[in-house]
Amino acid sequence: MATDKNKIFIFAPADATGDTHRKLEEAGCELVIGDASWATPQGNNEDEMVVMAQNADALTGTSIRSTPITKRIMESSGRLRIVAKYTIGVDDVDVEAATELGILVTHAPTETNWGGVAEGTMASMLCLMKNLRQRDVQVKGGGWREDHLQGTYVGARADGYQGITIGLIGLGRVGGRLAELLKPWRAQVIAYDPYIDASEFAAHGVKSVDYQTLLKKSDVVSLHVVLNKETHHMLGQAELSAMKPSAILINTSRGAAVDQEALIAALKSDTIAGAALDVFEDEPLSKNSDLRDLGEKVLLSPHMVSSNVGTGLGPGINWATESILKALKGEVPDNVYNKEVIPLWVERFPRNL
């Protein structure tokens, strides 16, 4: 068990029950609680976090948008062993710096999270393709059937209709689950993912294509990528211009994978037909953002596509807490994101016997 009051800085708490906080305290840990939270990812600034992280053995929490977990924050404690995220994403942690410093970064790829994202993506696509919002407004306003309320038929039919083409950028956990959800719909699903083996494409019944082909042929383009240097703004003006004017974009991965200003311009100019966004470059979305004024062209969600009753962050919080307790004993957790750091980390923090 942890001894001598190991310090844990919870930079973005999300455990409303307090159970994991008590578990850490019972293990001999002293907790420092930050201002950010799941509901309000804007919290302490970097200077404040440097002070709060001093002499910390672990940093943990959900997403934080006011400042990432920078090298400067991590360097404020020579004892820091682990940065344990409650979420799948680690784009708010300087993972390269953590690896350089010999610090583990863990994340929580729980099915409640990535499975929820896949289901939510499916719902967003159908909402846009079937004009569900417009039909609702029409009837509530006293109207009835009109041609502009017709939806798009998704799947192939016996009469020769081939169905729409859905392009998945990323065929990992979320993209793979979405492909499985789409199978009964008999749509044409293509995907771009240079890091996935050909056997995975075959297993999901998805055709592998290059990026430009996906953009050119897809009626729906859906992003399912982690955010890093390679994927930052991977969808900008040039890529949006390569899409069909009738196409829609869905982004339930990370906001900065899309150049948001280029997307706004593309929507205003009818370069593409619409977009469903659960994520944004800056969160919460500014009240002055032009995205709020694009009406039916956009379907906006407050970065909670994975949130469903009975699931949410709970499993991830528990996983992160167990990872911290293991790390404090010198044990390597089973959810390390930067696995290349493990040999150095084991040298720095020998297992407690």
Query: pLDDT of 75-88, one tens digit each?
Result: 999 999 999 999 99
- 138 in a structural domain: yes
- 107 in a structural domain: no
Q: What is the mean pLDDT of residues 240-246?
A: 98
Whether pLDDT at 1 is above 90: no
Model-wide pTM > 0.85:
yes
- 305 in a structural domain: no
278 and 329 share a domain?
no
294 and 317 share a domain?
no
Q: Which domain CATH number covers 291?
A: 3.40.50.720
**The pLDDT of residue 269:** 98
162 and 280 share a domain?
yes
Identity of the amino acid at 198? A
pLDDT band at 125 (very low <50, low <70, confident <90, very high): very high
Query: pLDDT of 167-184, one tens digit each?
Result: 999 999 999 999 999 999
Query: pLDDT of 292-321, one tens digit each?
Result: 999 999 999 999 999 888 777 889 999 999
183 and 323 share a domain?
no
157 and 227 share a domain?
yes
C-beta separation of 307 from 86 below 8 A: no
- 1 in a structural domain: no
- 104 in a structural domain: no
The number of domains in the chain is: 2
C-beta separation of 302 from 252 below 8 A: no
48 and 144 share a domain?
no
CA 75 – CA 101 distance, rounded (Å): 8
Q: What is the mean pLDDT of residues 146-162?
A: 97
44 and 69 share a domain?
yes
**The pLDDT of residue 211:** 98
Whether pLDDT at 2 is above 70: no
The b/e string for 76-95 (b: 16+ C-beta within 10 A; e otherwise) is bbeebbbbbbbbbbbbbbbb
Average pLDDT, the chain: 95
Catalytic residues: 254, 283, 303
Query: pLDDT of 22-62, one tens digit each?
Result: 999 999 999 999 998 777 778 899 999 999 999 999 999 99
337 and 227 share a domain?
no
Residue 161's contacts (CB-CB under 8 Å, 6 or more residues apart) are 153
144 and 17 share a domain?
no
- Mapped to the 3 state alphabet, what secondary structure does 167-187 carry? EEECCCHHHHHHHHHHHHHCC
CA 332 – CA 237 distance, rounded (Å): 43
Query: Which residue range forms the structural domain that includes residue 67?
Result: 6-87+313-348
How are beta strands 188-192 and 207-208 bridged, if at all? parallel
Beta bridge partners of 69: 93
CA 84 – CA 318 distance, rounded (Å): 11
- 307 in a structural domain: no
Whether pLDDT at 207 is above 70: yes
32 and 63 share a domain?
yes
Q: What is the mean pLDDT of residues 189-194?
A: 98
144 and 200 share a domain?
yes
Query: pLDDT of 332-347, one tens digit each?
Result: 999 999 999 999 999 9
Whether pLDDT at 94 is above 90: yes
29 and 159 share a domain?
no
**The pLDDT of residue 108:** 96
- 105 in a structural domain: no
- 101 in a structural domain: no
